[in-house]
């Protein structure tokens, strides 16, 4: 299905998923304005939100099934390709899992305010715009739509001073990062006279702008803005406090879906507009090295489980940056594989933390998990699988993702990053394994130490889905890798878009 985005009908078709989800957001907003006084009303909003995510996923599938593409002559502001569709599914899946984890949590913590689910929906709409943005202005609009909603979600527990501090810090640092990003967009526009990613790539190649001072400065500011959004060192200062103060389901959402959206936008920007820029790859490699080292070393000193997971997410941003820095097809495929694995294992870990703690879970220490396996074996097993996957233990999706990133870095000649990835992964055993040891090898401090650890039916479904996904893709990664290869191949510079498309991969040949 070839779309001409100059025609209103085709443009609406290309934006169908975002329009469907925006419509559901307005509907849920209307419902919660009318019914928001009882837990039953909150469950109604949760059900409508899940229905919205499901129907939006169907809309994305419809475009993917019909092989929707844009006329190759035009350079649209919104991409219509497999990378957009797959990242949309990732955002929708992470948001749906967050809803499943949130329902019982909100009732338990008495956070039955009506804004929660509409904010989740509109944040997801912003993520989808970021993942599909072929123009820097659309990227910025999606980023702001997502960020404003997440600022409020971070401070959702209005009675908790930590949550208020988290929301304020995230707002101030986020606005600061947006300023860098917008100024970078302005400088890139000044150097190339366009904000379209593919046309920027053409201008850089044909006009020999690789060493243009204005363009290089604009690119540097873009990378600073993205560095804040993905919590890369040294732009990570906000992340531990914000993750620690926000409600735990929101923290999981921020550490996975929000970070995935920022990485998707960074990936597309560098792949389409700056694919030949050695400056971009060098800076990304430097950020990756600093992020892997600092994130892992600081996580070693953490005794709070929530802060440890916060620094863990920073370290994993470094692993993803290694894939981005390679600039090769193998690195692009590895990036998508690891992004899926990271989303599942991080959400699963935060789900167990949410079931264990109370009042924001900031006071849950690693030693507090002692004896968890004896009283709650399923929760301990789920946590152990997530920790082992975060570590990169064989048989889990985390191992497969790290292996492909390592192979891509070696293939690209980035041996320093490859060695650093292995060494920092070994260091991470120092804070992942103590969680498993406390759960399985230490006695519970009292008989009722874990009596209140409950998932709830919907949260149990979410945790089961994450654990099964991690184990399945840990032993059968072929289909995921094949999809990642085909998906990442659709993101390429305009100069490469005229070449014949890659041969279809059997995994999607039966559509």
Mind listing the pLDDT tens digit for each residue in 63-101? 988 888 887 656 788 888 889 999 999 999 999 999 998
- At 338, the pLDDT band (50, 70, 90 cuts) reads very high
Please name which of 171, 355, 372, 170 lies closest in space to residue 248, comparing C-alpha atoms.
355
Higher pLDDT, 53 or 461: 53
- At 500, the pLDDT band (50, 70, 90 cuts) reads very low
Number of domains forming the structure of the chain: 1
What is the rounded average pLDDT for all residues in the chain?
A: 86
- At 327, the pLDDT band (50, 70, 90 cuts) reads confident
In the predicted model, what is the mean pLDDT of residues 487-504?
A: 59
Q: Tokens representing 405?
A: 């990133």
User: pLDDT per residue over 399-440, tens digit each?
Assistant: 999 999 999 999 888 899 999 999 999 999 999 999 999 888
Helices within 301-414 (DSSP H only): 305-326, 329-356, 372-375, 377-391, 397-411
Q: Answer whether 256's CB lies under 8 Å from 347's CB.
A: yes
- Provide the domain limits for residue 468: 2-509
Place of tokens 């990003």: 181
- The span from the CA of 126 to the CA of 142, in Å, is 4
User: Does position 128 have pLDDT exceeding 80, yes or no?
Assistant: yes
- The span from the CA of 138 to the CA of 84, in Å, is 14
Q: Tokens representing 192?
A: 């190339």
Q: Which residues, 6+ apart, have CB-to-CB distance to 435 below 8 Å?
A: 305, 366, 369, 383, 384, 387
Q: Answer whether 275's CB lies under 8 Å from 493's CB.
A: yes
Q: Answer whether 46's CB lies under 8 Å from 117's CB.
A: yes
Higher pLDDT, 162 or 453: 162
User: Does position 509 have pLDDT exceeding 50, yes or no?
Assistant: no
User: pLDDT per residue over 222-252, tens digit each?
Assistant: 999 999 999 898 888 888 889 888 888 999 9
> Angle 283-314-180 (CA atoms, 0-180°, nearest 5)?
50
**SS3 (DSSP) at 6:** coil
Please name which of 244, 238, 242 lies closest in space to residue 360, comparing C-alpha atoms.
244
Total Cβ atoms within 10 A of residue 179: 13
């Amino acid at each position: 299905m070839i779309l001409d985005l100059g025609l209103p009908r085709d443009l609406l078709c290309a934006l169908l998923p975002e329009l469907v989800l925006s419509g559901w957001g307005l509907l849920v907003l209307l419902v919660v304005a009318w019914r928001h006084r009882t837990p039953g009303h909150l469950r109604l909003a949760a059900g409508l939100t899940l229905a919205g995510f499901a129907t939006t996923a169907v809309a994305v599938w419809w475009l993917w099934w019909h092989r929707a593409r844009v006329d190759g002559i035009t350079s649209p502001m919104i991409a219509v390709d497999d990378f957009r569709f797959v990242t949309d599914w990732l955002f929708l899946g992470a948001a749906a899992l967050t809803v499943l984890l949130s329902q019982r949590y909100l009732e338990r913590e008495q956070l039955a305010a009506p804004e929660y689910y509409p904010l989740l929906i509109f944040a997801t709409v912003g993520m989808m715009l970021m993942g599909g943005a072929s123009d820097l202005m659309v990227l910025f609009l999606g980023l702001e739509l997502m960020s404003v909603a997440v600022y409020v979600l971070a401070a959702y527990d209005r009675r908790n001073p930590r949550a208020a501090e988290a929301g304020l810090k995230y707002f101030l640092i986020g606005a600061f990062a947006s300023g860098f990003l917008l100024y970078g967009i302005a400088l890139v526009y000044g150097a190339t006279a366009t904000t379209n990613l593919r046309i920027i790539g053409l201008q850089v190649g044909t006009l020999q702008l690789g060493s243009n001072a204005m363009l290089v400065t604009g690119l540097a500011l873009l990378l600073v803005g993205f560095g804040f959004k993905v919590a890369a060192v040294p732009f990570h200062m906000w992340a531990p406090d914000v993750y620690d103060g926000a409600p735990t389901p929101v923290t999981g959402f921020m550490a996975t879906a929000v970070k995935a959206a920022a990485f998707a936008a960074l990936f597309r920007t560098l792949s389409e507009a700056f694919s030949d820029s050695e400056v971009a790859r060098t800076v990304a490699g430097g950020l990756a090295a600093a992020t892997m080292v600092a994130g892992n070393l600081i996580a070693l000193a953490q005794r709070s489980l929530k802060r440890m997971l916060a620094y863990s997410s920073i370290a994993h941003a470094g692993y993803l940056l290694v894939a981005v820095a390679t600039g090769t097809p193998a690195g692009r495929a590895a990036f998508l594989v690891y992004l899926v694995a990271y989303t599942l294992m991080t959400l699963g870990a935060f789900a167990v933390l949410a079931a264990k703690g109370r009042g924001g879970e900031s006071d849950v220490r690693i030693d507090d998990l002692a004896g968890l396996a004896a009283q709650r074996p399923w929760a301990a097993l789920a946590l152990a699988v997530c920790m082992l996957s975060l570590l990169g233990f064989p048989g889990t999706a985390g191992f497969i993702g790290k292996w492909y990133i390592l192979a891509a870095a070696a293939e690209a000649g980035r041996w320093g990053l490859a060695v650093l990835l292995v060494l920092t992964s070994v260091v991470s055993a120092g804070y992942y394994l103590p969680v498993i040891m406390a759960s399985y090898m230490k006695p519970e401090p009292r008989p009722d130490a874990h009596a209140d650890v409950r998932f709830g039916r919907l949260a149990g479904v979410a945790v089961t889905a994450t654990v099964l996904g991690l184990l399945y893709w840990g032993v059968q990664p072929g289909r995921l890798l094949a999809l990642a290869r085909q998906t990442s191949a659709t993101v390429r510079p305009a100069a490469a878009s005229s070449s014949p498309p890659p041969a279809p991969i059997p995994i999607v040949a039966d559509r």
